[in-house]
Amino acid sequence: MVGIIMGSDSDLPIMKQAAEILDEFGVEYELTIVSAHRTPERMVEYAQSARSRGLKIIIAGAGGAAHLPGMVASLTSLPVIGVPIKSSNSIDGWDSILSILQMPNGIPVATVALNAAKNAGIMAARMIGAFEDEIAKRVGIYQVNLKKAVEEKIDLVKKDFPNSFDKQ
């Protein structure tokens, strides 16, 4: 099971992408709001009880100062995947990216691209798939489908541009 947390409901349009891709892979998750700044006690309780509640990975999204992923990582031994979010008070998202990316040694947070909650969900599924064959199979099918989608687009381009690159 994966925990998906975010600092505010304004992060939900981004963070729901992690939930949607986990649904596609058949990975169970819980989703809630945990603010590092406005509900620090809730953050501590969430992080410290995560393993005993059956979580394997936590995906934490935050904008602005984006302390949530790092603070949660400091409170649990579970892997934490940070999602920097470009928020209304953000400096083009750079504040969030750097807040999550620049963690001190000993407190790692895996960080995906700005607003890339879908990638965080895929990463979580891959991590679980390392130990659960059925999830690994579903992730493999997803990757094959990505390849097929690109190949279909290549064929569309070839119709309009016959001189396109093609493998021999």
Binding residues for substrate: 8, 11, 38
Pairwise CA distance, residues 24 & 44, whole Å: 30
Pairwise CA distance, residues 83 & 60, whole Å: 6
> What are 51's two structure tokens?
């393993």
Longest dimension (CA), the chain: 62
Show binding-site residues. Answer: 8, 11, 38
Pairwise CA distance, residues 136 & 124, whole Å: 11
Pairwise CA distance, residues 95 & 64, whole Å: 6
> What are 166's two structure tokens?
């093609």
Give the SS3 label for residue 65.
coil
Cα–Cα nearest to 1, from 25, 36, 35: 25
